[in-house]
Amino acid sequence: MEEITQEHIINNALELYKKPKINGLYFLISSKVIVYIGSGNDVYKRIAAHKQTRVKRFSKYFILETKEKALQLYNMETEYIAKWKPIYNKTSNPDYHNNTKPLWFIYISQDKSIADISKGLEIPFQKLSGIIKGKRMLRDETYYKVEKYMLEIEK
């Protein structure tokens, strides 16, 4: 067995609730779909910022740790965005320039449209559409009803 000292353990211990600083790419995932790809020299901090702002809806994430420098990391990120076209990435995503992928597509299952969901939740179509597309931000009972529905879809 390899000798290890108390000093080594104490000097290399991770703080409770503090994630290590990792350089690399991160992939935000919702309903088994990659919805955003980002990069940075502290990916946990970036993921926490996305979760706190609640603009990008995701329930899972994946981190690809790398030693690449900023330019190479940016190039990797750009390649993945162009390949997988995540809904929240606008730069390097051809679907945004062609207006072919609305932000709400991920929340609509194969067998339901916004109209079907509107009827099922008993919410007017325009109000529901605004909430799903992120244009209606009023945090009222209707908003939370839609949010609950979206979270159930993600499971």
The ranges assigned to domains in the chain are 19-97, 103-154
Higher pLDDT, 11 or 134: 11
For residue 129, what pLDDT is reported?
Answer: 76
Query: CA of 24: how far to CAs of 18, 33, 86, in Å?
Result: 18, 20, 18
CATH superfamily of the domain spanning 19-97 = GIY-YIG endonuclease (3.40.1440.10)
pLDDT in tens, 64-85: 999 888 888 888 999 998 888 8
CA atoms within 13 A on the CB side of 106: 25
Q: What is the pLDDT of residues 113-147, one digit of tens each?
A: 777 788 888 888 888 877 766 666 677 888 878 77
CA dihedral 131, 135, 137, 138 (to 10 degrees): -80
Please give the model's pTM, rounded to 2 decimal places: 0.57
Give ∠ CA 124-90-24 in degrees, rounded to 5: 120
